[in-house]
């Protein structure tokens, strides 16, 4: 006879289960919200806090540092967070991880120097890295019916892309209304510790964008008392039968292949996103139509009589246009990612083979991703039309040759992130679920995968000027990085173990 517990049928969601889905969706949404904030605020933040010219060696050095150091720190400590998820409980760790990244993002808006911003991005990343692992384990165990579990994991993770869309919207709103928002200043009692923000920088849009990361903490404070702990985890812990997790157990003969392959493939998924897609704000300013808009904004800018201030005002007007269009392209990419995540959630309950499910997105992406970035600045960017969403505060969505390419890139790449949230809980036993998920997601995705942003930035600095402007170098390098990680991920997919759904509650 089987020792597996009886699997209850899927029923209508209760009020508590809906609350669970809501808080998980908020967590997933702002997980990506916090991560995708950096590409949007990087350029103006470095111009203010470092003062180096875009494309210079110092500028590129800090681009690499801000992308990779927080990911490395977050991945390393996030691995410990996965261990704590198995030791202390899914709900407890989930709650505190969301509060950590929300408060850290808010405080980052007060950064007075580049080091302060770097430290707070590290603590933000720690919270994000831990939240994903805790939320996936928590959801998987709260919905024991396999069909319902796949749907809940798939559709709540889809809110990650809504988070990516929201951060682009938040950045667009900050750019539009920053001058009328309250000034950002350091309280007098703290100026001796962290310094001050110059008066001319107290209404910078990038600061308000960072501070908006506090939003997920607000509903969490009110909903948390109604959230249950994972019942199967709590039962085993109270009975004293919950085994102690260890990193070494992930490399036991029955799990070593799973751990190694999922870590490599998670790294490739994140490598495509951070090494290519997240470089869009660096590439978009190179589009001919964007350069024309920026030049026109510079010419029409109201400038003071002082030559130095006039030059700064014209540059600011041009960069504002570049940032706004980059934000619009990011929205299009996130819409593509959202469609991809929903497509995966739909297919996850219809395609039994996990390898086949992943290849539905992996194979087309391996061809299309490199082509999109290779041709980004090489072909005419024809504008078909614009979707004007100003009435609902979403700005504009440009429908152009390259925005369609960006949407396709987001569809096939971002969908793979949801795959891992559905897959990983099935391949690790309960006492190792958080630790195993954390190793693949944080060592593979956050530490190794996000390092491709640093790789891209470093390659760009080494390319001679014969390859064109900084945006052209970023486009070409992103194409090469995307091709590399997709090829490696596709090879690794052949070795991906198929999970045993009957062993889920072991």
CA-nearest of 229, 251, 159, 244 to 440 is: 251
pTM comes to 0.83
What's the pLDDT at 394? 60
What's the pLDDT at 305? 73
Report whether 373 contacts 475 (CB < 8 A): yes
| DSSP helix/strand/coil, 64 | helix
Q: Which range, of 22-31, 71-80, 182-191, averages the lowest pLDDT?
A: 182-191
Residue 503 CB neighbour total at 10 angstroms: 12
Tell me what percent of the chain is helix, strand and coil, each rounded to the nearest 5. Answer: 75, 0, 20
Query: Which of 19-28, 217-226, 340-349 holds the top average pLDDT?
Result: 340-349
128-141 b/e (C-beta count within 10 Å ≥ 16 → b): bbbbbbbbbbbbbb
Report whether 90 contacts 134 (CB < 8 A): yes
Q: Taking residues 309-325, report their average pLDDT.
A: 80
Residue 292 has pLDDT above 50, yes or no: yes
What's the pLDDT at 271? 95
Q: Which range, of 196-210, 233-247, 403-417, 447-461, averages the lowest pLDDT?
A: 196-210
CA-nearest of 473, 432, 435 to 456 is: 473
Residue 378 has pLDDT above 80, yes or no: yes
Per the model's pLDDT, the better-predicted residue between 428 and 166 turns out to be 428
Confidence of residue 402 (pLDDT cuts 50, 70, 90): very high
Residue 401 has pLDDT above 50, yes or no: yes
What's the pLDDT at 10? 65
- The percent of residues in the chain predicted with pLDDT above 90, rounded, is 33
**What tens digit of pLDDT does each residue of 83-112 get?**
999 998 888 898 888 889 889 999 998 888
Q: Taking residues 452-467, report their average pLDDT.
A: 89
- The percent of residues in the chain predicted with pLDDT above 70, rounded, is 95
Domains and CATH numbers, the chain: 15-500 (1.20.1250.20)
CA-nearest of 55, 72, 254, 415 to 407 is: 415
Report how far residue 28's alpha carbon sits from residue 34's, in angstroms, rounded to the nearest whole number: 10
Report how far residue 59's alpha carbon sits from residue 46's, in angstroms, rounded to the nearest whole number: 7
What's the pLDDT at 2? 45
Per the model's pLDDT, the better-predicted residue between 81 and 484 turns out to be 484
Burial class (CB in 10 A: 0-12, 13-18, 19+), 468: middle
Confidence of residue 486 (pLDDT cuts 50, 70, 90): very high
């Amino acid at each position: 006879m089987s020792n597996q517990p009886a699997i209850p049928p899927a029923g209508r969601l209760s009020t508590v289960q809906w609350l669970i889905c809501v808080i998980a969706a908020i967590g997933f949404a702002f997980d990506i919200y916090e991560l995708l904030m950096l590409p949007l605020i990087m350029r103006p933040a470095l111009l203010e806090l470092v003062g180096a010219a875009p494309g210079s060696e110092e500028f590129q050095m800090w681009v690499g540092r801000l992308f990779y150091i927080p990911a490395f720190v977050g991945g390393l400590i996030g691995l410990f967070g996965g261990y704590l998820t198995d030791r202390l409980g899914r709900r407890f760790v989930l709650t505190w991880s969301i509060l950590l990244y929300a408060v850290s993002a808010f405080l980052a808006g007060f950064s007075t120097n580049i080091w302060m911003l770097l430290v707070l991005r590290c603590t933000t990343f720690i919270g994000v890295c831990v939240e994903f692992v805790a939320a996936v384990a928590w959801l998987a165990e709260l919905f024991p019916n396999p069909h319902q579990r796949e749907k809940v994991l798939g559709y709540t993770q889809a809110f990650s892309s809504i988070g990516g869309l929201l951060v682009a919207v938040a950045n667009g709103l900050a750019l539009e209304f920053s001058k009328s928002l309250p000034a950002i200043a350091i309280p007098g009692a703290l100026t001796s510790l962290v310094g001050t923000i110059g008066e001319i920088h107290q209404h910078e849009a990038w600061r308000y964008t960072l501070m908006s990361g506090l939003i997920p903490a607000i509903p969490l404070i009110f909903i948390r008392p109604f959230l249950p702990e994972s019942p199967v985890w709590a039962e085993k812990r109270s009975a004293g039968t919950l085994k102690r997790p260890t990193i070494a157990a992930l490399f036991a003969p029955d799990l070593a292949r799973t751990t190694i392959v999922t870590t490599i493939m998670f790294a490739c998924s994140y490598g495509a996103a951070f090494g290519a897609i997240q470089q869009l704000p660096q590439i978009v300013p190179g589009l001919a139509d964007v350069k024309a808009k920026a030049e026109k904004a510079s010419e029409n800018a109201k400038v003071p009589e002082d030559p130095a201030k006039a030059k700064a005002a014209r540059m600011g007007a041009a960069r504002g246009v570049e940032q706004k269009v980059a934000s619009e392209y990011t929205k299009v990419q996130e819409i593509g990612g959202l469609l991809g995540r929903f497509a995966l959630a739909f297919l996850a309950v219809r395609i039994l083979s996990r390898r086949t499910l992943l290849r539905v997105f992996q194979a087309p992406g391996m061809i299309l991703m490199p082509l999109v970035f290779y041709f980004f600045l090489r072909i005419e960017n024809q504008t078909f039309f614009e979707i004007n969403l100003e009435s609902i505060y979403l700005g504009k969505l440009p429908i152009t040759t390259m925005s369609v390419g960006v949407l396709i890139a987001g569809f096939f790449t971002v969908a793979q992130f949801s795959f891992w949230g559905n897959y990983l809980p099935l391949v690790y036993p309960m006492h190792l679920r958080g630790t195993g998920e954390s190793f693949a997601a944080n060592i593979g995705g956050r530490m190794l995968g996000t390092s491709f942003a640093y790789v891209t930035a470093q390659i760009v600095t080494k390319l001679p000027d014969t390859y064109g402007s900084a945006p052209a170098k970023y486009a070409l390098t992103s194409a090469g990085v995307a091709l590399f990680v997709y090829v490696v991920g596709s090879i690794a997919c052949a070795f991906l173990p198929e999970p045993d759904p009957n062993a889920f509650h072991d």
